[in-house]
Amino acid sequence: MAQRALPLIWALLVAGLVIGPVTAVVWRAGGLAALGPAEYDALWFTLWQAAVSAALSIALAVQVARALSRQRFPGRGLLIALLGAPFILPVIVAVLGLLAVFGGSGLVNQLGAMLGLPRIDIYGYHGVILAHVFFNLPLATRLILQGWLAIPAERFRLAATLDAPVGRLLERPMLRRIAPGAFAVIFVICLTSFAVALTLGGGPRATTVELAIYQAFKFDFDLGKAATLALVQLALGVASALALLRLSPPDGFGAGLDRLQARWDGRTGPARLGDALWIGFAALFLLTPLAMIVIAGLPGLLSLPTEVWQAALRSLIVALGATALTLTLALPLATELGELAGLLGVAVSGLVLGTGLFLIVQPFMRPADAALPVTLLVNALMALPFVLRILRPELDAARADYGNLAASLGITGPALWRIVLLPRLRRPLGFAAGLTAALSMGDLGVIALFADGEHATLPLQLYRLMGAYRMEAAQGAALLLLMLSLGLFWLFDKGGRADA
């Protein structure tokens, strides 16, 4: 009974950490406010762009993940790590890279002008969808790739021996288990889009709910309207999670002997060519903007001011603390109820969450003194849905395959985790830790509401350099932030790339 109650207690704790700040904003506003036509237009745009962005990300990720799962080549592990970079980039840095490729004077338009093709305008709804696919394709690819790597090698051997169709017998059941949950997470991410719509939306027709919340705060200071929109956004996130997570059937492959996979279905000429084209497309689409960031940032990297390095140290502390807290919360929460509670962190507006925390701590202490701890907490809550989506399928499969055997041998409690579960979670735990650390390194949200000059993190210092038109130093700081984020991701994900 106590073991069953533990996930419920953790779920209630996480829900309270999210709902408490929202309640504080509603209380301070004196109640909720009515929504007008502009807010309903923003709601409609938010829903359809999130659905299109998530569907495109999943559809492309299935092809890229299949190609990576069945082909082996030198540098494959490094390529898999680099393909995850766009998702962990600070949004404004990634947007600058996209503009360098797809903007008015970007590489694509320069090449199109040479070929006599019409000019591409990245601003508008298509720019928002392009940016969302750029950010979320790496996450979807890694989530689906984890599903492929979790299929026991013996199933592929048996399929090859019987000359059975791998796609129908192995791949489709795995995708029915993994894809709906991945779609749910990406859909909720796109629901809360702010910086992408702000920079690439191009006007009121491409306004998301999160951007409408920002406008209510920044220009109208209408806390009632901001709180109402935040609750609508939260309800959408919870509803999408309930609807889509229920579509994920349990794993039916059973246990294996933990052997390395050997794929025979990708050895034909057409299969190799098709896989090479998909891998090449993903590398070109995702890595070209990163290369533009590196080229622009190299001149200013060696002459960064002291405050940038100090801010980088604060960001490292926040990232490592958020990673430890997220994993501590995620392991007992890796159930259906826990995953639903975890999704609250990304479904609620980060602006409202930060403002609510500001209102809560203001009577007791100077907000700037709480900047780093509050940022650490919010980063942990925002990363929790991704970590749970990574861990839960693997943990469910391990419990289903080995739970009864472990119980019959008297292996329970900490021994069950140490002997049975954690060894089989090594790959997803490494990926989850790397993702959390990198996302926390690049976060610019709550820290902007709390921090003063002595508590700025590296992303906030980067924005301040850009605001002061110190562009060479800003580009150098952007490159430093990219290097630190990728470095943390690679370091933790080294365990996650085992058997890759």
Q: What is the pLDDT of residue 256?
A: 47
Q: Where in the sequence is the domain holding 61, given as residue range(s)?
A: 2-496
Q: Which two tokens stand for residue 270?
A: 């057409």
User: To which residue do tokens 């980063």 refer?
Assistant: 379
Cα 150 from chain centre: 21
Reference 140, options 72, 56, 79, 266; nearest CA is 56
C-alpha distances in angstroms, 59 versus 53, 85, 175, 182, 192? 10, 19, 11, 11, 21
Distance from C-alpha of 250 to C-alpha of 397, rounded to nearest angstrom: 8
Distance from C-alpha of 445 to C-alpha of 422, rounded to nearest angstrom: 33
User: To which residue do tokens 């509803």 refer?
Assistant: 239
pLDDT tens column, 376-425: 888 888 888 878 878 887 787 777 777 777 778 777 777 777 777 777 78
Sign of the dihedral defined by the CA atoms of residues 198, 87, 75, 284, in that order: negative
120: left (phi over 0), alpha (psi -120 to 50) or beta: beta
Residues in the chain: 500
Distance from C-alpha of 399 to C-alpha of 438, rounded to nearest angstrom: 29
Own/partner pairs, 6-12, CB within 8 angstroms, 24+ separation? 6/332, 7/332, 7/333, 7/335, 7/337, 7/338, 8/337, 10/329, 10/332, 10/333, 10/338, 10/341, 11/333, 11/337, 11/338, 11/340, 11/341, 12/341
| CATH number of 453's domain | 1.10.3720.10
Distance from C-alpha of 305 to C-alpha of 480, rounded to nearest angstrom: 12
User: To which residue do tokens 């026991």 refer?
Assistant: 152
Q: Which two tokens stand for residue 252?
A: 């039916």
User: To which residue do tokens 């603390």 refer?
Assistant: 321
User: To which residue do tokens 């996650």 refer?
Assistant: 496
C-alpha distances in angstroms, 94 versus 2, 70, 309, 466, 494? 46, 30, 21, 15, 24
DSSP collapsed to 3 states, 38-77 = HHHHHHHHHHHHHHHHHHHHHHHHHHHHHHHHHCCCCCHH
- What amino acid is encoded at 434 in this protein? G
Q: What is the pLDDT of residue 1?
A: 45
pLDDT tens column, 209-250: 878 887 777 677 777 887 788 788 878 877 776 776 565 555
Which parts of the chain have pLDDT scores under 50?
1-2, 253-258, 500
Reference 427, options 382, 402, 390; nearest CA is 390
Q: What is the pLDDT of residue 17?
A: 82
335: left (phi over 0), alpha (psi -120 to 50) or beta: beta
Q: Total structural domains in the chain?
A: 1
Q: What is the pLDDT of residue 166?
A: 62
C-alpha distances in angstroms, 389 versus 68, 333, 432? 20, 11, 9
Within a 13 Å sphere around the CA of 60, how many CA atoms are in the beta-carbon half? 25
- What amino acid is encoded at 497 in this protein? R
Distance from C-alpha of 179 to C-alpha of 59, rounded to nearest angstrom: 9
Contacts of 48 (CB under 8 A, 6+ apart): none
User: Measured between alpha carbons, how far apart are the two ends of the chain, in Å?
Assistant: 39
Q: What is the pLDDT of residue 292?
A: 85
Cα 447 from chain centre: 19
